[in-house]
Structure 1
């Protein structure tokens, strides 16, 4: 029996019409399970703590496998009145498809699902194709791809390599793929002093002086000069607050938040020790208590250039004419979890409108992306 190729644009539209704002499933994973099940994929819902996830495998368990990872959850639309089109309408106009998730990343999921289904139907490989799709990438991320990987480990399921379909191209289709990501961590800092009259500072302990001194030392010099695959690490102060309405009162308490995006010259634990060491010294010198709470969202990682990187880069170049830059820029993605399971790369669409009002993506690019994923599959199993 012959099957018509799956149209990735039509599948993108169907997914956009599913209002899957994190952590609501919205029908998106149910839709994909139907499409994949009809093509012979064994589909399993791996929900955890109310978070929806889907695992799908074509081929034998334990076989050499090519994996895809992505998410169907989206961020809230914000002010609906600010949109020129229905954010869940999936309207096609001006050569683009419009709606929340069009760029990030229902088009990417549709492209790899379409490529995978057509591939196993037309040229069944000796091996397996695995899809891991979560409904919790835009949220806390504790029960999404992590839950899928935990379940896979318990069930003896494994991907040999994995391609994440997040948007990776800044302006032109094909110009960039991600071979790693910076780590991300946050310091939540609290300074506790003694309240007093601003005219009598000797009777108080100003927490802001100690806090700003700590922040000054944190930002006085770059954390590093960059490494072979990474730009220099970035430390940014994102909040300072003491909730003090009076101009003549020294406050008793002040807080600040610091976010660090770090390269492979550092570890999260090393940066925590560095920050706590600075705070302990300044606390001893000022008498102001400085408490640091840290939250590490992910460690830095890199998939070194090699056979898998070359395979995906060649597929991108063949379909777009551009040799993609091998980048580690940007924020975090679920690749930070997959990297502990198997070699992982990221390639997807142009991401200029992701999370914005009137999110949209070019129709032609979705077809290109499906062709890139299909070419990568053929090359991997050749």
Structure 2
């Protein structure tokens, strides 16, 4: 059994459903402390949803936060999503199990194997290069799968407040499609949600002149918003991003009775937007459509994250070369998919990429990873460290 696999199994066996860390960060911290890392635990959140965050850093000898040449951060999370019905799993979700060359367990892909690969890649790198010029750090949270308000964002705010800088960051989210290394994320779309409440007047359905149907009032405006989205008129995207997309997630109205005109209608919707749009530009356009149709409404907006993009540079080149050297794959750069904690890190770090295992089974019953790809992932991380270190020596 490889050391990466052994650590991955140790972490998977901990039932760390958000916001629980279940001792995962302690296991990792003890190994990093032996390598000369300074450990800082930052807890956040209310008593009934306490989040554990770990910031571990190892600077070159005689260096300070102000004098270190370059800092690379491995970032990830030790929390996992709920298992779902345990009886539907072929083996217990928190008992690491091998079948047909695969490792099964909740978190096998998302993302305890990545975290294990972080740690072992650092151990092997430091064994070969005991005094690197590179500052190494690990940022872990137990609130990535939850609300995300007491996790990585809290650590990033603390680092920014004390003037610490990050030059490179690799987030271990599962990004591969068929094989480890075939796709990495060098950016993500922004996310913004809206809760639209349309005001009407409730009444008997047989006397519509005494009521005001909010669904009828909204329908023409809603049809126009749907048409804008279908035509791709929010924006055209660009070389790195798909066009901005708008989707309705929920529509609520009525009392449940068939003879009552509803007094209000509530629509939840979400934008996934490119760098060609801003929250303000999208909000302005939605309000313009609603106002043009004379809709009586209130609209509450929530910006979940801004889009970010790491254009090809030192980090992207190092990761691409590491993947090619280890696997022979010419990796694909992508900004597709949902959001991740990279959106918080990108505010204090200009070069952020996401690189992890195949994502086909994440959040599913019988989540798993190919055992053969565990060492591949660790080696890609290690090769990236070696390349960034070599760039500092030049």
| Paired residue secondary structure (2:138) | strand
Verify: 1:20 aligned to 2:16, yes or no: yes
| Paired residue secondary structure (2:149) | coil
Query: Could you tell me which residue of structure 1 aligns to residue 56 of structure 2?
Result: 56
1:129 aligned to which of 125, 129, 136: 136
CA distance in 1, matches of 2:119, 2:283: 40
1:323 aligned to which of 305, 330, 335: 330
Verify: 1:239 aligned to 2:250, yes or no: yes
Change (3 A) 1:243 1:61: farther
- C-alpha displacement of 1:78: 1.0
TM-score between both structures, scaled by the size of structure 1:
0.94
Query: Could you tell me which residue of structure 2 aligns to residue 10 of structure 1?
Result: 6
Report the more deviating stretch, 307-316 or 345-354.
307-316
What are the equivalent positions in structure 2 for 1:258-297 lying under 5 Å apart?
A: 258-282=269-293, 285-286=294-295, 289-297=296-304
| Paired residue secondary structure (1:265) | coil
Contact 1:338–1:344 (Cα < 8 Å) also in 2: yes
Cα deviation, 1:238-279, whole Å, max 9, x if unaligned, reads 111114322222111111111111111111222222223323
Report the more deviating stretch, 161-170 or 222-231.
222-231
- C-alpha displacement of 1:6: 7.1
Verify: 1:226 aligned to 2:237, yes or no: yes
Verify: 1:114 aligned to 2:110, yes or no: no
Verify: 1:215 aligned to 2:208, yes or no: no
Change (3 A) 1:277 1:51: same
CA distance in 2, matches of 1:156, 1:131: 17
- C-alpha displacement of 1:202: 2.0
Gaps of 5+ in 2: none
Verify: 1:183 aligned to 2:194, yes or no: no
What are the equivalent positions in structure 2 for 1:1-382 lying under 5 Å apart?
A: 7-49=3-45, 50-59=50-59, 60-62=63-65, 63=68, 64-124=70-130, 125-221=132-228, 222=232, 223-282=234-293, 285-286=294-295, 289-342=296-349, 343-382=351-390
Cα deviation, 1:327-353, whole Å, max 9, x if unaligned, reads 000000111111111111111110100
Contact 1:61–1:157 (Cα < 8 Å) also in 2: no
How many pairs align?
A: 374
Report the more deviating stretch, 309-318 or 5-14.
5-14
- C-alpha displacement of 1:211: 2.6
TM-score between both structures, scaled by the size of structure 2:
0.92
What do you get for the CA RMSD once the two structures are aligned? 1.5
Gaps of 5+ in 1: none
CA distance in 1, matches of 2:259, 2:18: 45
Cα deviation, 1:207-260, whole Å, max 9, x if unaligned, reads 011233332222112222221211111111111111432222211111111111
- C-alpha displacement of 1:10: 0.7
CA distance in 2, matches of 1:292, 1:380: 47
CA distance in 1, matches of 2:42, 2:114: 21
Contact 1:16–1:88 (Cα < 8 Å) also in 2: yes
- C-alpha displacement of 1:40: 1.7
CA distance in 2, matches of 1:69, 1:354: 18
CA distance in 2, matches of 1:159, 1:90: 34
